[in-house]
Amino acid sequence: MKKLFILFAAVAFFFALGTGLEAQEKKILIAYYSLTNNTKNVALEIQRQTGGDLFQIETVATYPDDYEGLLQVVEKERNDNARPELKAKVDNIESYDVIFIGYPAWFSDLPPALYTFLESYDLTGKTIAPFCTHGTAPGDQDATIKRLQPNATVLETLKISGNTVKEDPENAPKQPVSDWLSKIGVK
């Protein structure tokens, strides 16, 4: 009986040890840039489903409120290869394993603020999970992100219509985010 108890205790100990290693959670950061709150609402849904920490990427300079004025500034920044100054940095980015990076697709590209953000950190060994909101043509920013962070693992981008999110900010992102998290293996 004593031998059976010792055997049972040893098996339970090794099972608990193995489970503890497998259940080790990844630390998640959700960094997003959003002018119209569409990308912010997707970021909030990712936070609800993952429990990650939120960080809003903000520029020091403000953008025009009117659409035409915004397009002019964005096009000029794009043509000038601008890197706008950001208000804050993530102080402990090295402590995160998975970094969700959200942005609106501008001219089928990353907004200049995202170039600044991605060029400000060495994300070697990190997993980057990009997500974007878009109008008519989301484009393909994956190659750009991989070029800016060549030593990170860049997962498939979630692309969701900004108009869809705008129509129902709380509910529209739920299913697409859930499906995407399952697909990329983060959920």
CATH number for the domain formed by residue range(s) 28-58+69-184: 3.40.50.360
Q: What is the pLDDT of residue 117?
A: 98
The overall average pLDDT reported for the chain is 86
Structure token pair of residue 187: 């959920």
Using only the alpha carbons of the chain, give its radius of gyration: 20
Confirm if 99 and 31 have CB atoms less than 8 A apart: yes
> What is the rounded average pLDDT of the residues 50-54?
97
Confirm if 154 and 182 have CB atoms less than 8 A apart: no
Q: What is the pLDDT of residue 11?
A: 34
